[in-house]
Amino acid sequence: MKKIAVSLIVLGMMAFGTVGLAAPKTTSTPVKLGQNILDVVKQKTGMTKEEFEAKRAEIKNLMEQKQAELRNEIQAKRENLQSQIEAKRTELRNRLAKIKDENKKQIVERIYNQVNELNKRMTDHFLNVLERLEKVLERISSRAAKAEANGHDVSAVKTAITEATNAINTAKTAVQNQAVKVYSVTVNTESTLKSDTEKIRQALHNDLKNVFALVRTAQEAVRKAATTLAQIPAVDELEMPATQPATTTQPTP
């Protein structure tokens, strides 16, 4: 009798084990830096809604982590530049000593401060814009991935996303370089004071204009990706399947 009981237990365990082994295993590979959800979906076919959301959250975290790292890097460089800005201010004061008009001296020094402050403010602003564009692009990737999972052709959106990503990265590098620049006035004589001071204003303006153009290019690239995405019929209705589908079916238009 005992033998029968033991045999039954073993049989039961084997049956349960076989069912467990036959069930598909969900292996998850970590998301790489710079990957978007479309790349992840491409790597793993038949991704469930839960897996998709988990991967998306992972990508978002990585993106935010990278953004924070860039900000910290810029901040650290700026702190190092602080002594350089101070040194140039002292140098400017020494050069301004030969100028008799006290009011003009103050204005030049104020412009020096304003120019460097404006550079900081604008590069921070551009960085904010680029971070927001990155987040929008992540949303576009998510929606495109859902469309792809439902059998739609998203090659045009993918191309637009890649272009936008490149544009954002180019603009980010430009902002990073611009953020650590220091502008100084080279005062010659009292008669050339205005033109000497105008030079740093113009230098900053030209530099910021170039960065601004890159930021606008990135914005337009993201807009293009959004417009391309919107061309997919009923794209907002598409979702990832709740569980792994046996076959992918294309929704009827």
Partner 1 sequence: MDQNIQDQNIQPNIEPKIEQGGKKSIIWVIVGVIVILILLGIWYWLAQKKVVTPVAPTAVPMPAPQAPAPTAQPSAPQVPAAPKEDSVSSINQELNSIDTGNLDQEFQAIDADLNSL
Q: Please report how many Cα atoms fall inside a 13 Å half-sphere around the Cα of residue 218, on the Cβ side.
A: 29
- The one among 15, 57, 68, 76 contacting partner 1 by CB under 8 A: 15
Shortest Å distance, C-beta 43 to partner 1: 20
Closest CA to 37 of 154, 136, 133, 146: 146
Q: Is 26 in the site for partner 1 (CB under 8 A)?
A: no
CB of 235 to partner 1, least distance (A): 6
The whole-angstrom separation of Cα 3 and Cα 10 is: 11
Could you tell me the smallest distance in angstroms from the CB atom of residue 207 to partner 1? 11
Which residues within the stretch 48-107 sit at the binding site for partner 1 (CB under 8 A)? 104, 107
CA dist., res. 58 & res. 32, Å (int): 10
Residue 132 binds to partner 1 (criterion: CB under 8 A):
yes
Supply the minimum distance, in Å, between the C-beta of residue 245 and partner 1.
6
Q: What is the DSSP string of 228-248?
A: HHHTSTTGGG----SS--SS-
Query: Residues 229, 157: contact at Cβ < 8 Å?
Result: yes
- Under rule CB under 8 A, which residues in 144-173 are in contact with partner 1? 146, 149-150
Residue whose CB is less far from partner 1, 74 or 140: 140
Nearer Cβ to partner 1, position 74 or 127? 127
Among 31, 63, 96, 115, which residue sits at the site for partner 1 (rule: CB under 8 A)? 115
Pick 4 or 33: Cβ nearer partner 1: 4
- 32 touching partner 1, by CB under 8 A: no
Neighbours of 109 (CB within 10 A): 16
Q: According to DSSP H, which parts of the chain are helical?
A: 2-22, 37-43, 49-96, 102-149, 155-179, 193-230
Using the rule CB under 8 A, give the single segment among 65-73, 74-82, 159-167, 235-243 that binds partner 1: 235-243
Nearest to 108 by CA among 131, 133, 91: 91
Tell me the window of 64-72, 81-89, 162-170, 237-245 that interacts with partner 1 (CB under 8 A). 237-245
Q: How far, in Å, CA of 61 to CA of 54, rounded?
A: 11
In this chain, which of 96, 168, 219, 221 binds partner 1, going by CB under 8 A?
219
| Binder among 46, 62, 78, 114 for partner 1 (CB under 8 A) | 114
Out of 54, 62, 81, 111, point to the residue binding partner 1 (CB under 8 A). 111
CB within 8 Å of 77: residues ≥ 6 apart: 179, 180
